[in-house]
Chain A
Amino acid sequence: MTQSDDSMTDEQPVLTDGGGDAHAVHENTDYLDHEVNIFKPSTPFMKDNLRMIFVLFAAWIIGVFGPVIASYFAEGFMTETTVLGGYPLNFFLTAIVSPLIALVLAAVYAWYRDRLDTKYGISHETEVEDDSEATVSADGGEVVSDESEPAETTTGDDK
């Protein structure tokens, strides 16, 4: 029952719109019916997500392995150039900058995912509502109905 990629082309124009249309796309997608394959994203959401992932991943490769590879090809330059009062460039880039780049990229991704969620109208707050009683009875009744209610007559754990 997996949808093939050509169902995607119908929805592609919608992606550039964002806003309400993306919400509609999201509401209409049954994510459990779409194949998960990292090189063949089968939903618009996944496509957006993976695109960002690969971009940031490329940046990460450069940030993490760039200094050492540069040191290989330009050893003299990397070891003799000093920054910030004496750090050999290769040392500084590797010991301080590479971790920093990874941190920044991580923050960028997390922020981007938040934006993506907003675009598609996904909220994580639905599960943590204050009227948690309502949430419990809702899914206690619906989804995991026969599993979450061990008490047959009364529920002694209600407060």
Chain B
Amino acid sequence: MTKTMYDTILVPTDGSKVAEKAVEHAIDLAQKYDAKLHALYVVDTDAVDIGLGTEQVERIKAGKFGEMEELQNRAKKATNAVGEAAAEHGIEVIEDVAAGRPHRSIDEYAKKNDIDLIVMGSKGRSGVRRALLGSVTERTLRSTYIPVLVVDFREEDD
């Protein structure tokens, strides 16, 4: 079997509809390239800091994620969705969870697992909203050298 360009594909997911779209593309590519598919949920430590308190970030850092059921459940829900969608096409998914700043965690994970292609969704925010909330996809694009496929959530509207 000849080596293809994309042996291992990573689709980071946050459980949102935006990610769903990206998942469709990732599954299709995985089929065509006969690639392994990874689904990753990143627990955003900044979100945990503001949403649950800095103490909870420390717990995660101290390796006590196992105590934090609610966070685990969210992660599983998001990655399970990918698993189920892929199963319909007979593709196996490796589901995983990481914690940290999303774009960095994605990059680290991708490097560690020899990912050849990252497929991410984007909402295409612009202007003030983009400045305030940022875009994980955009930052990932910039921080990693691995090819990234950005699937825009907005339909073409022209």
Contact = CB atoms under 8 A, between A and B. Distances in A.
Chain A: interface residue count, which band? 10 to 19
Contacts of A152: 83, 93-95
A148 B66 contact: yes
Given A140-B66, A147-B69, A148-B66, A153 B94 contact: yes
Interface in B67-92: 69, 72-73, 75-76, 79, 83, 92
A150 B96 contact: yes
A156 B95 CA distance: 8
A156 B96 contact: yes
A135 B67 CA distance: 14
Nearest to B76: A150
B110 to A, nearest CB: 11
A157 interface: yes
Contacts of B153: none
Contacts of B93: 152-153
Interface in A130-159: 136, 139-140, 144, 147-148, 150-157
B113 interface: yes
Given A147-B72, A150-B95, A151-B94, A156 B38 contact: yes
A153 B93 CA distance: 8
A150 B83 contact: no
Chain A contact residues, majority secondary structure: loop
B141 interface: no
Nearest to A139: B66
A136 B66 CA distance: 9
B105 to A, nearest CB: 11
Interface in B33-47: 38, 41
B29 interface: no
Interface in B12-70: 38, 41, 66, 69
17 contacts: A136-B66, A140-B66, A144-B69, A147-B69, A147-B72, A147-B73, A148-B66, A148-B72, A150-B76, A150-B95, A150-B97, A151-B95, A152-B95, A153-B95, A154-B94, A156-B94, A156-B112
Interface of B: 38, 41, 66, 69, 72-73, 75-76, 79, 83, 92-98, 109, 112-113
Given A152-B83, A156-B112, A157-B98, 13 more contacts: A139-B66, A144-B66, A144-B69, A147-B72, A148-B66, A150-B41, A150-B76, A151-B94, A152-B94, A154-B94, A155-B96, A156-B109, A156-B113
